[in-house]
Amino acid sequence: MPRVRLLRWLSASLGLWLSWTSTLLPAADPGAIVQTRSDARVWLPTAWEQLSPAVRAKIGSIVDQPTIAARSETEEFFCSEALYQWLLDHPDRVSLAWRHLGVPAVTIRPTARQSFSWTDSQGSELVWKTVARGTNGRVWYAEGFFHLGVLLPKVPVKAVAVLQHTTLFDPKDRSRIRHSVEVYLQTDSAAAKVVMKLLGPSAPRMAHAGATQLLLFFSGIAQQLERRPHLYEVLVETK
């Protein structure tokens, strides 16, 4: 059961973020390929120097030494830039829209300072916020802990998700979004042994699936809106 709960939690935690080394994403202007303290390199939507020292330290430490990391496939779907950005800014409303459609989705709550949180009945908690953004992407930073069970210790986690997106237009001038995400998850050495023992050889597959699910969380609702316009009311209704 701990393994099942861990996989469920990883999938629920913003879709998830999990490959074994950081990889180089194709750059999209504006943006920057940055090299952190080690050989890890990652595309960011803004110049490294424009980030605060605190944010650079958080991102660098996780990208340099992730417990698990992964990159999604590139996905394209019809959506306006304005709507896509709104969905990224309101994951709590996206989650509500999924539940309105009858699709199980975690409850996401907005918190102070433009952050969002997710909790479960076992006492697990994840809090995240956008720490960098640019024309073609953004960076989410998250931290929290996962409770495997009553007799097991809490697993502390930190994560970074780097989303890259571009707006394209077809011959009929319809806009579509092309996006991908690179995700990194880090925990302490003791917890890492527990996580890797529970995941075993399924870790790379779960990593890729989690990154893909993060993209689908947003793109799926954007596509549903074209077929079910009433979802707009769900997204903007008064809480």
What are the residue boundaries of the structural domains of the chain, listed by start? 2-18+25-236
Mean pLDDT over residues 71-94, rounded?
Answer: 93
Tokens (6 digits) for 155? 């697993």
pLDDT of residue 69: 84
Query: How confident is the model over 44-70, as pLDDT tens digits?
Result: 888 888 889 999 999 998 988 888 888
Q: What is the pLDDT of residue 192?
A: 61
Question: Residue 29 above 60 pLDDT?
Answer: no
* Residue 37, pLDDT score: 43
C-alpha distance from residue 5 to each of 21, 108, 121 (Å): 25, 18, 11
- The CATH label, of 3.30.420.40, 3.30.530.20, 1.10.10.10, 3.30.590.10, for the domain at 2-18+25-236 is 3.30.530.20
Q: Is the pLDDT of residue 13 over 70?
A: no
Local structure of 14: helix, strand or coil: coil
pTM score: 0.81
pLDDT at 3 over 60: no
